[in-house]
Amino acid sequence: MALDDFATSHGAPRVARLDVAPSPIFLLRGQSNMSLSIDANPAFAEYAHPERLVSTEWLAANLSAEGLVIVESNEDILLYDTGHIPGAVKVDWHTELNDEDTRDYVDGEGFAALMAAKGISRDSTVVIYGDKSNWWASYALWVFTLFGHEDVRLLDGGRDKWLAEDRVTTREKPSITASSYPVIERDDSVIRAFLPQVLEHFGKPMIDVRSTEEFTGERTHMPAYPEEGTLRGGHIPSAASVPWARAAAEDGTFKSRAELEAIYLDEAGLSAGDDIITYCRIGERSSHTWFALQFLLGFENVRNYDGSWTEWGNAVRVPIVKGIEPGAIPAGFGA
Amino acid sequence: MPPALAEIVEDFQAITEEQRLEMLLDFSEELPELPARFAEHPDLLEQVVECQTPLFLTIEVEPAGEHKVSLFFSAPPQAPTTRGFASVLAQGLDGLPAADVLAVPDDMPNKLGLTRALTPLRLRGMTAMLGRIKRQVSEQVAAAEA
């Protein structure tokens, strides 16, 4: 999506941001044009984009704020219905964000229809939360970002933290006033990588966020999850192994910037300016890491390879490496 | 298919997908608690590792006669989909003769009209739950008759 399209669809003139170069990533920054106040929680100030997180305290205080839509997105399609944050709408990753026929996400029209049905406008502040340390919520946020929805934030700590603090939940479905949402074509060029681009990426950093057993090839599925029919076990050559949950603290919130830097910079070897690809099994766990790299550590070129291991591990003639070592870039690939 | 289970399947098939999910949620809330002899000895239960969320089950068969089957499940409240399916099996199969339980078609989970709404992974978990129940029934009947 071109920036001009966004400006047109968005209607009102945008606040000038002269300090930011007008690149596609511009849309991801969204600092000055957000419709609701930023959570001034000092714990977020150290992150590159603190405006991308809200605390449970902030959300509790803003539950009925004008222009806010709260979205719950879980792995379990029924979990929302057992009780959710008052006013929250459910977005199901499987039935609503994925295209039913093609292995892909919904298109611009599909996304516009979904947003309208959920009462989300282009200028809504969307706060997403979910189960499992926001694993699926991050995935939803990544898909919202493919469509350039500007003000989309995560509830730090997700569903579990909200419940652990005994905050109010309800089973009452919110009465949604359908909104109108412009048809914005998905932009797959900035934060999404496809298999051919991963092949071209050799020589630059990749982060494999699956479990160690999946990385080494000992197993092709998550521990305690069923076999999904991947033919080869292992990882993409040269990828560093950083299981996604390492970015999360015990309570499901993100770790501090210093802790994240120790993991991703010191251990995994990333450095400022790097062009990075993250992947997992189908792209959901790696959305969580994408979020941490992009918005908490401030890397500007991070793409999530959503084909991930269910594509790579089955694809013909793509190289893999088994074992705990990242492995060398295969001959004929890379710079 | 045993009449009680067939009736549940028919109920699911007669309604819309959204209503099916609501009904599955209702089932999830009706899953009985484990009796004390199992609640205090979780090691006696078998984990259905194919399920995405923790689900443990065990069965008992009457030692004689038709070897009537009792089913016991344990799954956390944050796993409503898994609980719902366990509850469908509990209500559809509990108290039936072993032969009737063994005769349930293996693809029964696919007949609830949820194959679009639920992911293949989840449906596979349900199929595995039924498969493990049938395996335990066979083993316990064989042991009872040995």
CA separation for the pair B137, B98 (Å, rounded): 7
Contact between chains at B25 and A100 (C-beta distance less than 8 A) = no
Of A76, A95, A100, the CB nearest to B81: A76
Could you tell me if residue A181 is inside a domain? no
Contact between chains at B25 and A81 (C-beta distance less than 8 A) = yes
Domain count, chain A: 2
For B52, name the nearest residue in chain A, comparing CA atoms only: A225
Contact between chains at A79 and B121 (C-beta distance less than 8 A) = no
What is residue A229's predicted lDDT score, i.e. its pLDDT?
63
pLDDT tens digits, residue range A65-82?
999 999 999 999 999 999
How large is the average pLDDT for residues A271-296?
96
According to CATH, what is the number of the domain B3-145? 3.90.1010.10
Catalytic residue among A34, A240, A280, A302: A280
Residue A28 — very low, low, confident or very high, per pLDDT cuts 50/70/90?
Answer: very low
- Whether residues A153 and A260 share a domain: the answer is no
Whether pLDDT at A4 is above 50? no
pLDDT tens digits, residue range A185-220?
999 999 999 999 999 999 999 999 999 989 999 876
Of A81, A100, A224, the CB nearest to B49: A224
Which residues in chain B have Cβ-Cβ distances shorter than 8 Å to A95?
116-117
A114 catalytic per annotation: no
**Among A82, A98, A136, which would you mutate to test the B interface (most chain B Cβ atoms within 10 Å of its Cβ)?**
A82
Whether pLDDT at A14 is above 80? no
- Whether residues A157 and A237 share a domain: the answer is no
Q: Which residue has the higher pLDDT, A316 or A223?
A: A316
How large is the average pLDDT for residues A314-321?
94
What is residue A227's predicted lDDT score, i.e. its pLDDT?
56
How large is the average pLDDT for residues A109-121?
98
- Whether residues A58 and A126 share a domain: the answer is yes
The three-class DSSP label of residue A12 is coil
- C-beta separation of A179 from A120 below 8 A: yes
What is residue B53's predicted lDDT score, i.e. its pLDDT?
77
Chain B segment 97-116 residues within 8 A of A by beta carbon are 116
What is residue A335's predicted lDDT score, i.e. its pLDDT?
61
Contact between chains at B121 and A75 (C-beta distance less than 8 A) = no
> For residue B64, what are the CA distances in angstroms to A163, B143, B144?
48, 11, 7
How large is the average pLDDT for residues A52-71?
97
What is residue A20's predicted lDDT score, i.e. its pLDDT?
36
For A163, name the nearest residue in chain B, comparing CA atoms only: B78
Could you tell me if residue A230 is inside a domain? yes
Could you tell me if residue A23 is inside a domain? no
Average pLDDT of chain A is 88
pLDDT tens digits, residue range B28-71?
999 999 999 999 988 889 888 777 778 899 999 999 999 999 99
Residue A102, number of CB atoms within 10 A of its CB:
9
Residue A24 — very low, low, confident or very high, per pLDDT cuts 50/70/90?
Answer: very low
Could you tell me if residue A212 is inside a domain? yes
CATH number of domain containing A246: 3.40.250.10
Supply the pTM of this predicted model: 0.87
Enclosing domain of residue A129: 42-165
What is residue A218's predicted lDDT score, i.e. its pLDDT?
85
Q: How far is A303 from chain B (nearest CA, A)?
A: 25
Could you tell me if residue A208 is inside a domain? yes
- Whether residues A154 and A86 share a domain: the answer is yes
- DSSP assignment of A239-255 equals -EE--GGGGB-TTSSBP
- Whether residues A252 and A155 share a domain: the answer is no
What is residue B122's predicted lDDT score, i.e. its pLDDT?
86
How large is the average pLDDT for residues B3-7?
96
- Whether residues A159 and A197 share a domain: the answer is no
- CB-based contact, B119 to chain A, within 8 Å: yes
> Which of B38, B140, B128, B132 lies closest to B98, judged by CA?
B140
